[in-house]
Chain A
Amino acid sequence: MADKIKFTDFLKEGIVNNNPTFVQLLGMCPTLATSTSLLNALGMGAAATFVLICSNFVISLLRKLIPQKIRIAAYIVIIAGFVTMIDLLMQAFVPALSNSLGLFIPLIVVNCIILARAESFASKNKPLPSALDGLTMGIGFTIALSCVATVREILGSGTLLGFELFGGAVPLTIFALPAGGFLVLGFFIALVQFLKGRKDGAK
């Protein structure tokens, strides 16, 4: 029972209170680059979540063995290993997704969400909570990406998950471009801050 309560706490932390994208403002580059379509966002989110869980788990396991001085180098090596694995697996088994995400899969290595969670959580906690933290942070990242991507895909390309919504007409191409990405992201961050502020005010 105690574990169950903890899981919901983790989930709340990852998705709302400490959402990696909307609250911690980490991983802005992949957020902007891969949120042009919902499918890309889901693929990116899933890949990042996989890496987060694995790297958090392994780093937490090794947290007492890795000397303080070389911890960042060790983390990067572990993270890069997992990223390369998921990159190869995606190329082999989901080539379509791997094509559209392109360079952004290898770039998960330097995604600050992963390093931040390794440094601030996994290096101080036991393996299972760390894996759980990776999962919930990954879910939070995926949800945030999907929110931005849904708006951008509908407004920017006139499609959702590849289905045409307005008979092939493209409403506002700017939303498919980086500028539109910043706009949508900004509005979402504002919305989350507004909701959080209202909740805190009510207390």
Chain B
Amino acid sequence: MQSSSKKPKSDILRLAVTLCLIAGITAALVSLVNAITAPEITRRNEQKTAESLKAVMPLADEFEQYEYTGGSIISDDGKEVAVDGVWRAKSNNEYIGFCVKVSPKGYGGEIETIVGIDNDLEVTDTQIVSMSETSGIGTKIQDEGFLSQFVGKSGKITGVSSAPSKDEIQTISGATKSSSAFLRGINAALTVAAQISGGEN
């Protein structure tokens, strides 16, 4: 290096300044890209949430954000399920149910799920917003055969490995962890909906 003959002090300064310059320019460029993409990312996320709300509660024509203050729900087996948001579904200006967004912890991370629950506290439909379960195994919780089991269920749903009866659903063999986590999420959402409607009566 041509600088090796210089005094060490100026050498250190030169290193620091060079690195600072590189970091500064990089940061400037990244923030430029961020400025361009941030509105688009926010818009996509909002649109995605809106679509999921509509999907789990097709009868509703309006969704109203509800201030839920209960925090996360602790399930029967002691696991924590985060409640990310609650909406009240409206149709012709009447409340027809709730949409609860929960994110139970699955095998590979949080399974963000939106659950539609009607005024009778029955599940209308469910939608997985995002998850990072094992591809081909845990991702089976997205299958219609599994998800459709939840429709119309209420109260406390239990998961069984054989043929399910009332208030039971069949977990996916080989993906027990993922399907149980999803079930925890649904139960937490039902609890939240029961709390809210119980608080009003």
Contacts and interface: CB of A to CB of B under 8 A. Distances in A.
A73 interface: yes
Given A78-B22, A78-B26, A173-B136, A91 B37 contact: yes
B37 A88 contact: yes
Contacts of B174: 173
A1 interface: no
Contacts of A21: none
B135 interface: yes
B132 interface: yes
Interface residues of B, number: 28
Contacts of A74: 18-19, 22
Contact of A81 (B29, B44, B130, B137): B29
A77 B41 CA distance: 24
A80 interface: yes
Contacts of A65: 18
B41 A80 contact: no
Given A70-B15, A176-B137, A89 B33 contact: yes
- Chain A interface, >50% SS class: helix
A163 to B, nearest CB: 15
A170 B137 CA distance: 10
Contacts of B22: 62, 66, 74, 77-78
Interface stretch (A44-52, A92-100, A111-119, A132-140): A92-100
A69 B14 CA distance: 11
A65 B132 CA distance: 42
Given A78-B26, A91-B37, A92-B41, A70 B136 contact: no
Contacts of A56: none
Contact of A80 (B15, B26, B132): B26
B30 to A, nearest CB: 5
Interface in A11-45: 36-37
Contact of A67 (B3, B30, B33, B40): B3
Interface residues of A, number: 32
A120 interface: no
B37 A77 contact: no
A78 B34 CA distance: 16
A84 interface: yes
Contacts of B30: 81, 84-85, 88
A117 B184 CA distance: 47
Contact of B29 (A70, A85, A176): A85
Contacts of B163: none
Contacts of A176: 134-137
19 contacts: A65-B18, A67-B14, A67-B15, A70-B15, A74-B19, A74-B22, A77-B26, A81-B29, A84-B30, A85-B33, A88-B41, A91-B37, A91-B44, A92-B37, A93-B40, A99-B130, A173-B137, A173-B174, A177-B136
Interface of A: 36-37, 62, 65-70, 73-74, 77-78, 80-81, 84-85, 88-89, 91-93, 95, 99, 102-103, 156-157, 170, 173, 176-177
Given A67-B3, A177-B137, 12 more contacts: A65-B18, A67-B14, A67-B15, A78-B22, A81-B27, A85-B30, A85-B33, A91-B44, A92-B37, A92-B41, A102-B132, A157-B135
